[in-house]
Amino acid sequence: MKIVTEITLTAKIQVIVNDLNKNSLERTMSVYVDACNFVSKHIFKTHDLVQPSLNRALYQTLRSKFGLRSQMAQSVIKTVIAKYKTIKKNQPNDWIEPNFKHPQYDLVWNKDYSINEGYFSVNSLDGRLKLPYVSKGMEQYFNKDVYKFGTAKLVKKHKKYFLHIPVTFEIEECLDSEIQNIVGVDRGINFIVATYDSKHQSKFISGRFIKRKRANYVAVRRSLQRRKTRSARRRMKLLGQRENRWMQDVNHVVSKALVEQNPTRTMFVLEDLTGIRAVTEKVHHKQRYVSVSWSFYDLEQKLIYKAARRGSKVIKVPAAYTSQTCPKCGHVEKSNRDKKKHRFCCKACGYRSNDDRVAAMNLYRMGIEYRVQLS
């Protein structure tokens, strides 16, 4: 029996805005942000995160004070509630008031925005606006029979306007009984990934270029920090955004390579890094940012999505001792692994290899055990 699951991606689509529409959008986004901050202050004082209650308390004020249309007033309240809940989830012991700084506008599909032949119809304080869009690379998402649009966010970046649209579609899950290949995937910095598959082949993607580039980012950031000027702080912020985009691009390339280098019906086995540091190398604190920090969660999410689209799947297994366990005799000992030299030497049987390769081999073995338990 086939199991269908839903996947949601964010399509970032540029909309073309002429001077007349620009003034209307700018005013709408500015008022929307002011209204969000107004609601945020109310919630911070009352601790009220219940939509109907907030509607009774704030709806009429949002309409009269900010001139919002009915749907916009509802959208503002929902946006601020979601922001508070996100903060609460990440920092459960703190009650923090979010401040909305950047122009934005959340639009509900088929109410605040819709799509017609060649343009988006977007609600504003001045009525509906027709905004042409750049469709290159996004054509597939406009198949309404396959893809469903959610609440979009209108943002302005580098003097251009974008709709960030969550796009949901269904795919058939790869069943465990259909698996034809198992790949253990160890994530790290010396090698951003090391793999071991059902053909007993190992592959590595070096992480040295990451260390070099992040070291460059650190050097530039320190130079800007020493200046302590407003322009330096602005440049630091832009630098951080550029670094995050670069990290996501690297993770996209790595996850794509993993999926495309393996056949369909592959099961990728990852360490479950929930609640622990992704990398635990012991390095000097001055080098820690360069050497051990990387967005492995983003890499994991990209691999899950890409594998699912290709008819494969990802499972996560306990992370303990994968680099300390001998894949030949099963002996577990901390001193089996030399972290500094990235070498593995079993104290029981003498087996030698690269420590990242050993971790990938053990993850592969755990994938085999997972299959056996299900059979």
Q: Domain limits of the chain? A: 4-171, 176-207+256-374
User: Which stretches of the chain drop beneath a pLDDT of 70?
Assistant: 1, 275-293, 375
The pLDDT value given to residue 1:
64
Tell how far CA 111 is from the center of its chain: 27
pLDDT the model gives residue 278: 44
Mean pLDDT of the chain: 90
**pTM of the shown model:** 0.72
In this structure, the dihedral spanned by the alpha carbons of residues 306, 309, 315 and 321, taken in order and rounded to 10 degrees, is -20
Fold of 176-207+256-374: Nucleotidyltransferase; domain 5 (3.30.420)
Distances (CA, A) of 246 to 27, 239, 242: 32, 11, 6
Tokens read off for 30: 């500015």
Q: Round to whole Å and give the CA distance between 214 and 291.
A: 9
